[in-house]
Amino acid sequence: MTISEEIMTAGDMKKTGGGGLMRAKNSKPEEIRKSNIQAAKALSDAVRTSLGPRGMDKMIQDPKGEVTITNDGATILNQMMVVHPAAKMLVELSKAQDIEAGDGTTSVVVLAGSLLGAAEKMLAKGIHPTTISDSFQKAAAKSVEILINMSIPVDLNDRESLLKSATTSLCSKVVSQNSAELSPIAVDSVLKIVDPARENNVNLKDIKVIKKLGGTVDDTELVDGLVLEQKTSNVNGPKRMEKAKIGFIQFQVSPPKTDMDNQVVVSDYAAMDRVLKEERAYILNIVKQIKKAGCNVLLIQKSILRDALSDLAVHFFDKTKIMVIKDIEREDVEFLCKSLNCRPIASLDHFTPENLATAELVEEIQTGTSKCVKFSGIANPGKTVSLIIRGSNKLMLDEAHRSLHDALCVIRCLVKKRFLIAGGGAPEIEVSRELMMHANTLTGPDAYCFKAFAEAMEIIPYTLSENAGLNPIGTVTELRNRHALGEKTAGINVRKGCISNILEENVVQPLLVSTSAITLATETVRSILKIDDIVNTIRG
Ligand code: ADP
Ligand code: MG
């Protein structure tokens, strides 16, 4: 008996009737493929209800009882406990779309699920998985071509169009009612950091987003200058400093510790006195040098080895009127240096006036329930932006952050590739229609696969109308008819519940979001199709 026969269940034996070794051998890959497709489709169905402006939100609870409310596909999948290895591929797919485009993370998974359904039908017809996979790749390339043909070029100076695309992205989020405030913030912040030297890309790390509880999402603001979420460490020291000289240090102002876990035992009072005196002299020396360099605002990087500041140091800084802000995170170092146009100072010897940055004003301000420090009038500032997101509770605040991230990504997409397309299911239905026509010119399995691919694209308008409470079959067929009559921009008007020219509704999205959704979804479907076995290893 061969191994594959042994693995077969009794049911399989009955199906194949025990006859024909070939069939017995083939049945395992088929089963595996089927189970992979089922698992991935189930996951895609789970996020389907979140698509579009009328999509629902998910409440996610983690084992610690922490709750997240979100509408973002990537976040939902990322937090789900997915066990099946094929379903995990969809989680990765959503992440890939998040990295590539930032938006369209729900669409990409819904599309992949639908394409898998199409592949399943083709498999049932007896078409070989490799043939399906190749055909789908060709169909995806053709779809991208169709999308490019229907796209509209956009100029970065065309603020209106940028605002519209940011609004479309925000419309389908929990914070949609705040899109009027958030869209201009997203557009302005990305445009502010576009580097003329590297025009075709922007680094979103140059936008620092701070979340502060208190107030509402309307109070979210783009700050002119730099904002640090820490408050000052001074007790009686200055909270406001005009004509600031800022030093950013990476060493600590506290007594040094021994390298290993050693103990120093002090046995008499004289020795104790000496230790205290030494400490005082050590810290005073550092503070004096800092003061001598003319610094009046000191930033200290967070350290895991010892306290950044001892109580004694705080006392001295208070006395010498130096404002101190500690616990600057390591990942913020680059952003901070770029914004302030300075370099971090790694040792006291390098603490010299030329290494300091200058700003007109540094002050501690109250935002909501906590404080933060604002720098304004920075000399030669780098191209960076600080945003303060506000929200009345943590759930809202986090979701506002994720939604704003999507909107920022949409604008980044438009900087990368300056083309827009209509939304509301218009691009998908147009791709579907043109692919279908193209399929009629093909022969062999390609013709079948192209048709199946074209049909699968209809899932987006279908789901959009389903989620909006419309009749999906009626809406999609009407949409198809309107496109057949040449109305390339006809889309689902979710607000009015009808089909209309979606450009007039100002629903536009970046071309890159749609093209990358189709290519990435197809890529994942192809790799799922090509898997014929799951092997578990004993190594952990
Ligand atoms: P994703 O995570 O994939 O971006 P969304 O929930 O943001 O998912 O939904 C995006 C889809 O909703 C796109 O197909 C877009 O065209 C459509 N859409 C967004 N706003 C509207 C609107 N106002 N009217 C119709 N369709 C819209
Ligand atoms: Mg979106």
CA–CA distance, 165 with 406 (Å, rounded to integer): 11
Of residues 10 and 269, more confidence is placed in 269
**Gap from CA of 488 to ligand 2 centroid (Å):** 21
Is 379 in a helix, a strand, or coil?
coil
Q: How confident is the model at residue 19 (pLDDT cuts 50, 70, 90)?
A: very low
Question: Tell me, what DSSP letter sits at residue 127?
Answer: -
Alpha carbons within 13 angstroms on the beta-carbon side of residue 329 total: 7
Tokens linked to 190: 């990305």
pLDDT at 78 over 90: no
pLDDT band at 21; cut points 50, 70, 90: very low
Q: How far is CA 444 from the centre of its chain?
A: 41
Is it the case that residue 511 has pLDDT exceeding 90?
yes
pLDDT tens sequence across 432-482: 999 999 999 998 889 999 999 999 999 999 999 999 999 999 999 999 999
424-451 as b/e: b if 16+ CB within 10 A: bbbbbbbbbbbbbebbeebeebbebbbb
Three-class secondary structure assignment of 419-457: EEEECCCHHHHHHHHHHHHHHCCCCCHHHHHHHHHHHHH
Q: pLDDT confidence of 15, banded at 50, 70, 90?
A: very low
pLDDT band at 26 (very low <50, low <70, confident <90, very high): low
Percent of the chain with pLDDT over 90: 33
Cα three-residue angle 173-176-177, rounded to 5 degrees:
155
User: 186: CA distance to ligand 2 center in Å?
Assistant: 14
> Which phi-psi region, left, alpha or beta, contains residue 124 (left: φ > 0; alpha: ψ -120 to 50)?
alpha
Q: How confident is the model at residue 534 (pLDDT cuts 50, 70, 90)?
A: confident
Ligand 1, atom 25, residue with closest C-alpha = 424
Query: Which residue(s) pair with 95 in the sheet?
Result: none
Catalytic residues: 72, 105-106, 406
| Confidence check: pLDDT of 4 > 50 | no
Per-residue pLDDT of 264-317, as tens digits, reads 788 888 888 988 898 899 999 999 999 998 999 999 998 887 788 888 889 999
Q: How far is the CA of 284 from the centre of ligand 2 (A)?
A: 55
Per-chain mean pLDDT for the chain: 86
Cα–Cα dist 522/526, whole Å: 6
Q: What is the pLDDT of residue 96?
A: 93
Chain CA centroid to CA 75, Å: 8
What per-residue confidence (pLDDT) applies to 5? 42
Residue with tokens 């014929």: 532
The pLDDT of residue 55: 85
Q: Is 167 in the pocket of ligand 1 (CB under 6 A)?
A: no
How many other CB atoms are found less than 10 A from the CB of residue 64? 5
pLDDT of residue 79 exceeding 80: yes
* C-alpha span between 42 and 80 (Å, rounded): 13
78 and 19 in contact (C-beta within 8 Å)?
no
Q: Which residues surround ligand 2, an ion (CB under 5 A)?
A: 103, 169
Centre of ligand 1 to C-alpha 168, Å, is 7
Residue 460 Cβ contacting ligand 1 at under 6 Å: yes
Coil, strand, or helix at residue 364? strand
The reported pLDDT for the residue numbered 25 is: 52
> pLDDT tens for residues 117-168?
999 999 988 899 999 999 999 999 999 999 999 999 988 888 888 999 999 8
Return the ligand number nearest the Cα of 70: 1
Distance between CA atoms of residues 284 and 296, nearest Å: 16
pLDDT of residue 174: 83
Q: Which residue's CA is the closest to the ligand 1 atom numbered 1?
A: 104
pTM (two decimals)? 0.84
Q: Is 106 in the pocket of ligand 1 (CB under 6 A)?
A: yes
Return the higher-pLDDT residue of 357 and 306.
357
511 contacts 417 by C-beta, under 8 angstroms:
yes
Ligand 1 contacts CB of residue 102 (under 6 A): no
Question: In this predicted structure, what is the pLDDT of residue 9?
Answer: 40
Q: Which residue has its alpha carbon closest to ligand 1 atom 9?
A: 52
Ligand nearest to the CA of 502: 1
User: What pLDDT is attached to residue 12?
Assistant: 46
Ligand 1 and 432: CB distance under 6 A: no
Pocket perturbation via mutation, ligand 1, pick of 172, 182, 492 by most ligand atoms within 8 A of CB: 172
Listed residue (234, 209, 225) closest to 375, CA to CA: 225
pLDDT at 540: 63
- Over residues 373-388, the pLDDT tens digits come to 999 888 888 888 999 9
pLDDT band at 1 (very low <50, low <70, confident <90, very high): very low
Q: pLDDT tens digit string along 177-191?
A: 888 889 999 999 998
| pLDDT of amino acid 523 | 94
CB 132 within 8 Å of CB 123 = yes
Ligand 1 atom closest to 509 (CA): 16
- Whether the Cβ atoms of residue 454 and residue 439 lie closer than 8 Å to each other: yes
> Does the pLDDT at position 22 exceed 60?
no
Distance CA 292, CA 349 (A): 12
115 has a pLDDT exceeding 50: yes
